[in-house]
Structure 1
């Protein structure tokens, strides 16, 4: 996708958010794009509302499936906010439901005052993830098992990459396919996971690297971006962050009387996370920056144990 088409997609997403916001009674005169990658995040100024519009998606993600995931996110963030957990909450100025406009599905969030020049500290944030897990443990909503692993996304991505040796070397694709044969049954089935990792409890988890998705608000940290919320092992939320972050989580977990991370499960979730990263290359035609952004991950993946040490 050339830059002019990406710019057009962004403009259409912003226009959809503006018209949707106005349709919900918001005053919107100066929309401002705050961030753009897989979604376009736009402040509907002067209203204190931020719209997140999904834009970069796999081919099978229709509006209905997007809305299902967005409802889960809105449900868990509202529940957490009502219990005093520091999250970026859904906007109270509009109905807390996904809104669809002009082919886009979007959600609306409360504008927060981000601390200026704040540098992310992922090790410290990893310790905060234990607090989040404690807060999420009793969430009563219905969540599917490891939906954040997106098995169809991995499977379809590996198929599409067969026609793109410019994005992924055929030898790497062969390894990815063989790894997926080992990992897929454990990803797709809760029963298989529990047989493979007996005694590992499952609970509601963030689903999308929460240590990275912590916003430094002027009054403190806020957990954000629960779009991948799922039922799974707590290790999933630490996938790919490395030993320093794992140690910070374990220390915080011990202080709360929670279990520490299991090394075997970490190997599994790290391997699945790596394959999701590989599969993301299939989205590079929509988001060209991915080709360069994922290259270091591919180099790292080549040096890791096959399938995280799991045997089929």
Structure 2
């Protein structure tokens, strides 16, 4: 009999959200904020809560590949806080850290959280992903001058892919043996270039590396009542600009290239795109291991897995 993976129940998920909110409220009050009406704005990989009436939003990551490694999470959160504050200081429209509390992660109740300035959302505005993709070259142009140090392709989380592919062998209800074998063979081809900047640069000579958003910026633009803002820089990294378009398809790639022409920057490179698309797909496979802690992921991930089965090995990238 095939063993079944145990998923968190609805009650356990609700308890996790409650614990995150309580930790954020306690941390906010300890920092001197008035919090009487905490309101959850978002709850997927992170719980995002408005600490009303204070104009402050807490973001508390709750679904992580290594939930116990809060030190690594805090390092990434510091990068995000530093980058977004720097962008805000340059006049780039971003969701910025709150000026009402120190700009650093706060640990409370087993969580590591960050605090952001509250911005009213234009809830009736539908996202225009093509327009968003066309605006991303302007973000890349701004990020190019960022003076801080970032790790090469840290948002690819190669350690997570490696660990997840090993763990998935024990969860045949999440992925079949044939699919897992293919994923492992693809990863053997891709992993060396993800882990080594020198290997990447040798394989893709002339492709510049720079700070990039790291987590699909066309899908992470916040529609504020006062205009759009770039948001969610949790995966900020050093990499090729193609990384920010991974998996988005020809229409949004073409929109990005239109924006690149307008900003005088280079268009996307097809070979690099095939590489980052292949890596992004394996990160989707790895994320199957998070389904037990976030069951709703199933409806998002399984169509991508089915699509992957129809594609050439490693997305047609020849290595």
- Establish whether TM, by shorter chain, passes 0.5: yes
Secondary structure of 1:204 counterpart: strand
Alignment match of 1:83 (pick from 90, 94, 104): 90
Structure 1 range deviating more: 179-188 or 299-308 = 299-308
- Counterpart of 2:103 in structure 1 is 96
Alignment match of 1:173 (pick from 143, 168, 180): 180
Contact 1:94–1:108 under 8 Å retained in 2: yes
Gaps of 5+ in 1: none
Alignment of structure 1 residues 36-185 onto 2, 5 Å:
36-59=43-66, 62-185=69-192
- Counterpart of 2:5 in structure 1 is none
* Total equivalences in the alignment: 312
TM-score by length of 2: 0.96
- Counterpart of 2:3 in structure 1 is none
Quote the offset at 1:61 in angstroms.
Answer: 5.0
Structure 1 range deviating more: 287-296 or 71-80 = 287-296
Q: Tell me how far apart the structure 2 counterparts of residues 19 and 60 of structure 1 sit (CA, whole Å).
A: 21
Contact 2:38–2:50 under 8 Å retained in 1: yes
- Counterpart of 2:42 in structure 1 is 35
Q: 1:78 to 1:271 in 2, by over 3 A?
A: same
Quote the offset at 1:288 in angstroms.
Answer: 0.7
Structure 1 range deviating more: 230-239 or 252-261 = 252-261
- Matching of residue 190 in structure 1 with residue 200 in structure 2: no
Contact 1:167–1:291 under 8 Å retained in 2: no
Alignment match of 2:17 (pick from 2, 10, 16): 10
Quote the offset at 1:3 in angstroms.
Answer: 1.0
Contact 1:278–1:298 under 8 Å retained in 2: yes
Gaps of 5+ in 2: 1-7
TM-score by length of 1: 0.98
Q: How big is each residue's C-alpha offset from its partner over 1:51-82, in whole Å with a ceiling of 9 and x where there is no partner? A: 00011111365111010000000000000000
Quote the offset at 1:291 in angstroms.
Answer: 2.0
RMSD: 0.9
Secondary structure of 1:211 counterpart: helix
Runs of 4+ in 1 over 6 A off after TM superposition: none
Quote the offset at 1:156 in angstroms.
Answer: 1.0
Alignment match of 2:275 (pick from 263, 268, 282): 268
Secondary structure of 1:304 counterpart: coil
Q: Tell me how far apart the structure 2 counterparts of residues 306 and 190 of structure 1 sit (CA, whole Å).
A: 23
Contact 1:182–1:310 under 8 Å retained in 2: no
Contact 2:278–2:317 under 8 Å retained in 1: no
- Counterpart of 2:4 in structure 1 is none
